Amino acid sequence: MHKQGIVLVAMTILLFLNLSSLALAQTTYPKTIEKQIREELIRIDANINSSTELEVVKLTRVPHRNYYTALFKFRADSLSYLGEASFTKQSNTFKYDATSGLGYAVNNLSETPITVGKELYYMIYSENIGKQIKTIHVTSFNKKLEYLIHPGKGKYFVHYKKLPSRMREEDMYPVTVTCYDKDNKLIPSSKCVR
C-alpha cells in the first residue's frame, strides 16, 4: 500500500511538471513569434512601426510536419488586419520562414497555396466572427480540387488540405469559396471571402 502511495505522488508530480512546461511553452513561443512577425512587418510596410500593437491569436501545425502558421492581428491606418506567417520549429525554437512570406488582409477569409517540403497544401484561414461560419465549400474552376471545411467553434481557424502530388499550384485557380451558416444558408461572399 505504501508503494502505491509513492507511485501516485510521483505520477502527480510528473503530471504537474508536464502541464507547467506546456503552459510556459504556450506563453513563451508567441512572444518570440510575435517579435519575428513585427520585424518582418516593419521591413515590408512603411505604415507599421515598433509601436504598432500586434497579437498572435492562433498557432497551428501542418499535420505531421514541423511547419506552423501563426495567425496575428494588428491595427494600422485605422483598419484591423488579420494575417498569417509561416514558421518552422527546430529544437523547440520557432523560426520565421521567409520563403513562404507573410500576408495580411482586412477581409474575413483568406486562402493561399503553401509548399511544405515538396508537398503542396491549400490553406484557408479566418476569424469566424460571431462563429457564423459552419461550413466552407471549396471548388477549383476545373474541379480538380473540391472539399468541405468545418471551421469548428473557435474564434479563429486555419485549415490545411494536402493536395494530390499530381496537382500544381496553377491547377487550383480560379477557386470558388462558398460559406454557409449553422442553418445551412449561404453567407454572402462579401462577408466571407475577399
Q: What is the pLDDT of residue 4?
A: 58
User: Quick one: 189 exposed, middle or buried, by C-beta within 10 A (0-12, 13-18, 19+)?
Assistant: middle
Strand partners of residue 103: 84
pLDDT band at 28 (very low <50, low <70, confident <90, very high): low
> What are the respective helix, strand and coil percentages of the chain, to the nearest 5?
25, 40, 30
Closest by Cα among 110, 108, 136, 105 to 123: 110
Asked if residue 13 has pLDDT above 90, the reply is: no
CB 147 within 8 A of CB 134: no
pLDDT tens for each residue of 109-122: 888 888 888 898 98
Nine cell digits for residue 50:
515598433
More confident residue, 88 or 22: 88
Handedness of CA 54, 58, 60, 66 (dihedral sign): positive
Percent share of the chain, pLDDT over 70: 83
pLDDT tens for each residue of 58-71: 999 999 999 999 99
Question: Any idea which residue has 494575417 for its cell?
Answer: 83
Nine cell digits for residue 187:
453567407
At position 38, the amino acid (one-letter code) is R
Backbone phi, then psi, for 160, in 5-degree steps?
A: -110, 135
- Give the integer Cα–Cα distance in Å for 153 and 54: 23
More confident residue, 74 or 49: 74
Contacts of 126 (CB under 8 A, 6+ apart): 82, 108, 109, 110, 133, 151, 156, 157
Asked if residue 23 has pLDDT above 80, the reply is: no
Mean pLDDT score, 9-38: 57
| Strands ordered across the beta sheet of 156-162 | 109-116, 119-127, 156-162
pLDDT tens for each residue of 152-170: 888 999 999 998 888 888 7
pTM of the model: 0.77
Omega cis (within 30) before 188: no
